[in-house]
Amino acid sequence: MVVPFLNEEENLPVLYDRLVGVLDGEPEDLQILFIDDGSTDASASWVADTAKKDSRVRLLQLSRNFGHQIAITAGMDHAEGDAVVIIDADLQDPPEVIPELMAKWREGYEVVYAVRKSRSGESWLKKFLAHNFYKIFRAMVKMEVPLDAGDFRLVDRCVVDALRDVRELHRFVRGLTCWVGYRQAAVYYERAPRHAGKTKYPVWKSANLAWDAMTSFSGTPLRWVTVAGILVAGLGGLRAMRTIWARIVRPDDYVPGWATIVALILIIGGIQLICMGVIGQYVSRIFEESKKRPLYLLRPEKPKRDDGHRGP
């Protein structure tokens, strides 16, 4: 079980109780790996205390906030067992669905993703953007990506091992689990409102994740640049035609030179700025990938001392 979290001290105890209650009846051994993505509250302390009481619980602390997708990756890198379930700590994805995921896995599926039938507690704007993002993303990447499926899913050990070889910095885990292939199945569920605390994925952050997903899996935005350039050039051409018409029909209202300059700025400046912006995003990703930095760093585990020493 991989549980990434950031400042979820109110949710973690409830999630732990529900996970244990649901999975105690399953025949497989359970391990809950909590990944602290740079929390500043008492979340990590609670997990550390729980790990002392329950050997199935383990805490993995990142050295700082690396982001949700990197935290999931760190969890899969260190997870043990024949299958790994990814679930967030906000309790929007109910642990009670996990036995259904495991049942599909026992049938032979290597990836079992949970698809949301509803999204309670989210704004209409976020629902609208999320639903349409999946449609656009599927059309761009030409890959079977399930609609309205988040990171809540079960992946087999063979999938985990495959994903360990994929070390790109700008990650979209739910897309990567589809990209690797293998046998995949869906389980449908009702998504609950957040149990407590504030969402870690407001609209702007979700939009950033969507942009990372599109640019990581497709070069389509570069083609969009061409279309945008044509549209802007077309607008500039229309403005130029209007200038010529005004010069012929209403010569008294014509200001020599001004409209021509504006039309040229629209044509050339608009095309250049759009092209440079999109190409710059891809160049930036090439630059970041070329540095070969590790995806994340872990806080070292402090060794226990048995000699009674109390010094630093």
Half-sphere exposure of 285 (CA within 13 A, CB side): 18
Q: How confident is the model at residue 203, as a pLDDT?
A: 56
Q: How confident is the model at residue 34, as a pLDDT?
A: 92
State pLDDT tens for residues 58-111.
898 898 888 888 888 888 888 888 888 988 888 888 888 888 888 888 888 898
Question: Can you give the pTM of this predicted structure?
Answer: 0.69
Q: How confident is the model at residue 178, as a pLDDT?
A: 79
Q: How confident is the model at residue 255, as a pLDDT?
A: 57
Give the torsion through C-alpha atoms of 285, 150, 134, 186, to 10 deg: 130
Q: How confident is the model at residue 268, as a pLDDT?
A: 73
State pLDDT tens for residues 126-159.
666 666 666 676 666 666 777 777 788 898 998 8
Cα–Cα distance for residue pair 172/218, rounded to 1 Å: 12
Q: How confident is the model at residue 312, as a pLDDT?
A: 40
Dihedral sign, Cα of residue 214, residue 289, residue 69, residue 82? positive
Q: Give the angle 294-83-201 at the CA atoms, nearest 5°.
A: 55
Q: How confident is the model at residue 53, as a pLDDT?
A: 87
What angle do the packed helices 203-217 and 220-249 form, to 10 degrees?
100
Enumerate residue ranges in the chain where pLDDT < 70. Answer: 118-135, 137-143, 193-220, 222-223, 226, 236, 239-240, 243-244, 246-247, 249-260, 263, 302-312
Nearest one of 149, 147, 152, 179 to 163, comparing CA atoms: 179
Give the number of other Cβ atoms within 10 Å of residue 309's Cβ.
7
Superfamily (CATH) of domain 2-217: Spore Coat Polysaccharide Biosynthesis Protein SpsA; Chain A (3.90.550.10)
Q: How confident is the model at residue 18, as a pLDDT?
A: 87
In this structure, what are the phi and psi dihedrals at residue 197, rounded to the nearest 5 degrees?
80, -175
